[in-house]
Structure 1
């Protein structure tokens, strides 16, 4: 009973902290484009790089440990397959879940070229969980900060894994780095929480024997100052025409080059 109460409280705190990241309505109303949108082409480029230069970090390591011959892999929030496709010679079937049909199309193109048996399920986890087979191993990479109802999300991951669940997420919210620019352009302070430890605490409170490893991200967030400025214009609801101004401001604030993120891997059997 105590574990259940603790988990409920932690889940509520996670939801409240994530809700605090909502963009103020008056700023959102002026957004030229969706500030929360993602571009499949950018994700596909990252997947292609991951395929060309497979990562040997803790997420891949702990997936490989559990993927013996004939194993099946479920990738939740798969995107274009950056977390799963580089391990294509380690599993016999990939199940990929994502809310974006465009992302799944990019994943399918790459899976076909690699000869990877693939089943895609379009929809939000855990809403579509009943449509998804149980797999030997489940991976969920860089999705958690999009999940308000984290307890149900984690329970569904666990219920679909025969052997192991592996989760990768940034140590801090992936938009945290923009806090000085939000303050500069909008006079808005961005939240600090949730952080990866909040996810770890909730998973442990749910009764999972969690293990944790952290490392520096293997890739820079942006290839150029121009890329950074374009991203800020989208995420901070600024006119794209202000990109040069944003870049200059980032330089003035000492934000370029950006330090690499810290990534956290959480796993349990």
Structure 2
């Protein structure tokens, strides 16, 4: 199942001839935008992912947040959190997380790198979480095994039901004549985890906020993801209207969890 996952994920790669013309990294993320999401999560902490983490976290316990970003998945647990262990590849993301953790009084240790490459140097925690990370992980079985090995009580994942770039599929066809794949999905993640022997529980909900509130924001993001220059934003907006893509439907967010002991 892990090989199937790897093959399905590989089909999401951008053809070299298109990527070569990209004016900006099509896979890049804005730490400022991630920080806004974290601030919203801190202002109104809710949702099944947070609940599944909280019920497995002892008072003053520790959380390992892999692909932590700016801390949206873990920092809302601050009142009960004795230590946060944050892993991420981005210095900018970890800097945003550090400032918020300091303001909340959460002791934090940082490990810059890709999981599971840095697993050997990362301590065990009571709860391990990876939120909106797995679609960037070709070797999913090894990723999940190390995550489980670093959790005393529970592993929690949060992810979209389909690849997070699936909303762009009609635009890939429109601008590049490319049909994007339908897999992998959250159910494939479940299959990989169950193949490792974990008793996986799951639930889903609609994403708490729309992906975009303005067409202009959609166009800016789409231009980057589609390897188009910003000067083509009006073309993107016209295509979105023509293809009846606005407003963009909210994603389904899945929460997966299993006990690690």
Match of 1:18 among 9, 13, 34: 9
Pairs aligned (count)? 259
Distance in 1, matches of 2:40 and 2:60, equals 26
Match of 1:240 among 230, 252, 258: 230
Question: In the TM superposition, what is the alpha-carbon distance from 1:25 to its structure 2 partner?
Answer: 1.0
Question: In the TM superposition, what is the alpha-carbon distance from 1:223 to its structure 2 partner?
Answer: 2.1
1:193-248 CA-partner distances (Å, limit 9, x unpaired): 00000000010010011111111111111121111110000000001111121012
Distance in 2, matches of 1:25 and 1:260, equals 30
Question: In the TM superposition, what is the alpha-carbon distance from 1:188 to its structure 2 partner?
Answer: 0.6
- 1:131-146 residue pairs with structure 2 within 5 A? 131-146=121-136
Root-mean-square deviation over aligned CA pairs: 0.7
The normalised TM-score by structure 1 is 0.95
Distance in 2, matches of 1:80 and 1:176, equals 24
Question: In the TM superposition, what is the alpha-carbon distance from 1:90 to its structure 2 partner?
Answer: 1.8
Stretches of 4+ moved more than 4 A in 1? none
Match of 2:145 among 143, 149, 155: 155
Distance in 1, matches of 2:152 and 2:45, equals 25
Structure 1 alignment gaps of length 5 or more? 1-9
Aligned pair 1:191/2:181, yes or no? yes
Question: In the TM superposition, what is the alpha-carbon distance from 1:145 to its structure 2 partner?
Answer: 0.1
- 1:1-269 residue pairs with structure 2 within 5 A? 10-55=1-46, 57-269=47-259
Distance in 2, matches of 1:208 and 1:25, equals 38
The normalised TM-score by structure 2 is 0.98
